[in-house]
Structure 1
Amino acid sequence: MAHPVRLCVLDKLINEGEKNVTEIVDCMDVTQSNLSQHLSKLRDLGIVEARKEGNLIYYSVKRKDVISIVKVIMRGAE
C-alpha cells in the first residue's frame, strides 16, 4: 500500500469514487499495464474491490480502515 502509485490510486478512488483503469491512469504517469498490476495487488490484499461492466472493470476502495489511513498519509504529503 505504501508504494506512491498505489497511494495515488487509493487517494483518487477515495476522493472521486469508483473508477476504471483508463480513468486512473494519470496517477503518477504510469502505463495502463503497470497500473493494472498495482490494482491487482490491491485486490489481492483485499483493499480494493472490482466490478465488471461490459468490457470495463471498475475499482473502489473496500476497507474503511484503509480510507482513514490514506487520508492521514495524504494530508501529511500536502
Structure 2
Amino acid sequence: MDADYIKYSEITEILKVLAHPIRLCIVKGILDQGQCNVSHMQTCLKIPQSTVSQHLQKLRYAGVIEGNRKGLEVNYKITDERIIKLINSILILS
C-alpha cells in the first residue's frame, strides 16, 4: 500500500467531476463527436443552456475539457488522453 496518497489528488478530482450523470454524458458525447458546442449538447440532453454551461464549467475547471472559440460559438473537446481511456474503459462503446 502506498502511504503517499497526496499524489492521487489530481485523479480523484477528475473522478469526482465525472461522477455526475450529466457530466459523464457530456464527456461521452464530446468523445463520440470529437468536439461539440453548447447548443448541440442542450438539444441532445434536453436541459436548459444554463445547466449545460454550469456542468461545462466544472469539467473545464477540472481540466477534463477545453473550449475553442470560433466567432460566437465555443466547441469543446477532451484535453487529456487519460480521460478518453477512462471513458472507453467504463462505458461500452458501440
Residue 11 of structure 2 is matched in structure 1 by none
Equivalent position to 2:92, from 69, 75, 78 = 75
Q: TM-score, with normalisation over the residues of structure 2?
A: 0.74
Structure 1 stretches of 4+ with a deviation exceeding 6 A read none
Instruction: State, as a whole percentage, how many aligned pairs show the same letter.
Output: 32
Aligned residue for 1:30, secondary structure, equals coil
Aligned residues: 76
Separation (CA, whole Å) in 2 of partners of 1:52 and 1:38 = 18
Q: Does 1:62 align with 2:79?
A: yes
Q: Structure 2: which amino acid aligns with 1:9?
A: I
Gaps of 5+ in 2: 1-17
Gaps of 5+ in 1: none
Equivalent position to 2:57, from 40, 48, 61 = 40
Q: TM-score, with normalisation over the residues of structure 1?
A: 0.88
Separation (CA, whole Å) in 2 of partners of 1:68 and 1:7 = 14
Q: Structure 2: which amino acid aligns with 1:6?
A: R
Equivalent position to 1:51, from 53, 63, 68 = 68
Choose between structure 1 and 2 for higher RCO, CA contacts under 8 A separated by at least 6 residues.
Answer: 1
Separation (CA, whole Å) in 2 of partners of 1:46 and 1:4 = 18
Could you tell me how far 1:48 is from its partner in structure 2? 0.1
Q: CA RMSD in A?
A: 1.7
